[in-house]
Amino acid sequence: MVIVSLVLLALTLLVIAAGLHLGPHSSVGAGVSSFVVAGVAVSVLASRTSSITTLTLLIYGLIFLISLGTIALGLKGVLSKPKTSTPQRYKSLLGRTGVASTDLAPSGTVTVDGESWSADALEGVISKGDNIFVVEADQIHLKVAIDTFNTSTSTSVELNESTGKENNNGKDDH
């Protein structure tokens, strides 16, 4: 009986560890499932044997306590308000400058403050190497425009709407 109890304790700890790793909703589920399994095991054990060892009862009591603690931690996480630091990070990107890592036609990748971000060009095509600035930031996706104030190293290619040919923004091909 003690070996079965120890195996159940080990499985309980594994399920709870997985639940804690996956987030508060999983923690609640892991705690509840561990509590129910331990309750069923105690009921079956009590109905099949006339004597239960003190060690077995202590192990099941420990499982119940761990399960209840996990449920409490999970509920605290579920009911708590999200932290505001994450949205503030995205807001701090507004107006920042960077460089297009790939062509944005309209989607691509940009580098801002040394970090790579997926981005959409607000207008036209932004070529790889063009200087950009962040207009909107929504979690992991940015909306950017060409940085017209800092174009000394950028080359922007756009299509002329009337002819369908590339414009080079007044730069010579020499």
Segment 98-117 mean pLDDT: 91
> Residue 106, preceding bond cis, omega within 30 degrees?
yes
Half-sphere exposure of 165 (CA within 13 A, CB side): 4
Of residues 112 and 51, which shows the higher confidence score? 112
| Cα torsion through 46, 49, 52, 56, rounded to 10 | -70
Q: In whole angstroms, what is the distance from residue 171 CA to residue 169 CA?
A: 6
Q: In whole angstroms, what is the distance from residue 27 CA to residue 165 CA?
A: 58
pTM: 0.41
For the domain 86-158, what is the CATH superfamily, name and number? Nucleic acid-binding proteins (2.40.50.140)
What pLDDT band is residue 1 in, cutting at 50, 70 and 90?
low
